[in-house]
């Protein structure tokens, strides 16, 4: 082979390698997504979702409604990126600063890189009689569907995990 042919082949291999690396690195950076839908009787602008870790040992939800969680991820629209971790991923969800619930998505550690693969979080709010019901459909490696009835924030002292305490 001539030097020109070797140079052209080397250049093509380098370009193919660089293109593959770029493509794989941009695909890896596509992270979690969050979407929110509401029925016609509700307003998406009144939905707030915070992300963080909430201790089950708190006794009641009073502190949760006072201070919230670490990161605001939705305020009428997505406002910050959502990066989940292996382990407990909690979402504090409020509607119109009157109703709330908390949702936990547990992601087990894969023991190889420890970084969870991306998920799509679909929050769907519906009014049923005088109640608001939230259905969270999680798509991805740790897929699941969670349904919660939102409670009144004024009752947070009598609730734990967004539900009335059981005697």
- Residue ranges covered by each domain of the chain: 1-30, 32-164
Beta strands in the chain (DSSP E): 33-38, 47-52, 71-75, 87-95, 99-107, 120-128, 131-139, 144-149, 151-152, 159-160, 163-164
pLDDT at 75: 95
pLDDT at residue 1, rounded to an integer:
75
- Distances from the Cα of 98 to the Cαs of 94, 141, 145, 150, in angstroms? 7, 33, 24, 9
pLDDT of residue 69: 92
Helix (H, G, I), strand (E, B) or coil at 156: helix
Counting as low any pLDDT under 50, the low residues of the chain are 28
Alpha carbon of 102 to those of 4, 131, 150: distances in Å?
65, 16, 9
Helix or strand (DSSP H, E) at 16: helix 3-29
């Amino acid at each position: 082979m001539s030097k020109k042919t070797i140079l052209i082949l080397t250049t093509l291999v380098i370009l193919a390698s660089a293109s593959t690396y770029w493509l794989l690195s941009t695909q890896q950076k596509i992270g979690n997504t969050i979407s929110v839908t509401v029925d016609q009787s509700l307003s998406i602008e009144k939905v707030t979702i915070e992300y963080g870790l909430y201790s089950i040992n708190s006794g009641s939800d009073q502190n949760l409604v006072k201070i919230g969680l670490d990161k605001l991820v939705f305020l009428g629209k997505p406002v910050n990126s959502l990066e989940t971790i292996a382990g407990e991923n909690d979402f504090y969800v409020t509607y119109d600063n009157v109703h709330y619930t908390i949702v936990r998505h547990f992601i087990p550690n894969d023991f190889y890189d420890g970084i969870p693969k991306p998920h799509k979080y679909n929050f769907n709010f519906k009014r049923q009689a005088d109640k608001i019901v939230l259905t969270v459909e999680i798509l991805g490696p740790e897929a699941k569907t969670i349904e919660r009835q939102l409670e009144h924030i004024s009752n947070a002292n009598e609730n734990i995990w967004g539900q009335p305490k059981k005697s």
